[in-house]
Each structure stands twice: as C-alpha cells, then as structure tokens.
Homo-oligomer: A and B are copies of this chain.
Amino acid sequence: MPVVVATLTPLDGHVQDVLDAFGVASPLVHAEKGCELYAVHTDGTRVVVVERWTEIEDLQAHSEGTAIGELNRLNAGHLASPADVLVVENVPIGDPRKGTIQ
C-alpha cells in the first residue's frame, strides 16, 4: 500500500494558484481507482500532498492519467522547481492506530 509525499514549491505569490489547481484536480484524483488518500496541505510557502494508494499499479495509472495531466497544465509557470515526489511504504511501529495513516 504505497504512500506518497509530494512537495511543491510555488513561485513567490503563486501558492493560491497552486492550491486552486488542486481544487480542480483533487476531486478527479479522489475518483481514481485505488485512491485512498490524497490530502493537500500548505504552510503558506510550500504545498505538500500526502497520498495513499491501494496498489502500486493504481499509483502508476494515476501518474499517467488525465487528472495529473490537468494538474500539471494548471501549475505550469507557477512552480519554482519540479515537485519532489517520494514513494514510500509504512514501517508499522508502536500504536497501530497512530503508527499508520488510517
């Protein structure tokens, strides 16, 4: 069950543009096969998406799908650098409820 942490660095003054792009793309991603979590966050400077997919094949289909294409189109010219995307797996430690994203 892959977890993805994607960090985007918008150009100065473009955080809201990037959030608006997710406003369009996230509902499309939520409807994709195997999407269990696709949660957008910001600290006002960077935008961090935490994702979980049922199977690695679902993540692969997502990364080649229309929603991510639309997201990339909307974000064009608004990012200081390419997104930093980490695909990781949970290491269950401690309290099962707090040690794994539910």
Interface residues of A (CB under 8 A from B): 3, 5, 7, 19, 22-23, 26-27, 29-30, 35-43, 46, 48, 50, 86-91, 93-95, 98-102
A35–chain B nearest beta-carbon distance, Å: 6
Q: Are A101 and B101 in contact (CB under 8 A)?
A: yes
Answer whether A89 and B22 are a contact pair too, CB < 8 Å, given A50-B101, A98-B30, A101-B101.
no
Number of copies of this chain in the oligomer?
2
A48 touches B86 (CB 8 A): yes
Nearest CB of B to A28, in Å: 8
A65 to chain B, nearest CB (A): 15
What 20 additional pairs, Cβ within 8 angstroms, besides A23-B93, A30-B94, A30-B99? A3-B50, A5-B5, A5-B50, A7-B86, A22-B91, A27-B93, A29-B94, A30-B98, A37-B101, A39-B90, A39-B98, A40-B91, A40-B93, A41-B89, A42-B88, A42-B89, A43-B86, A43-B87, A43-B88, A46-B86
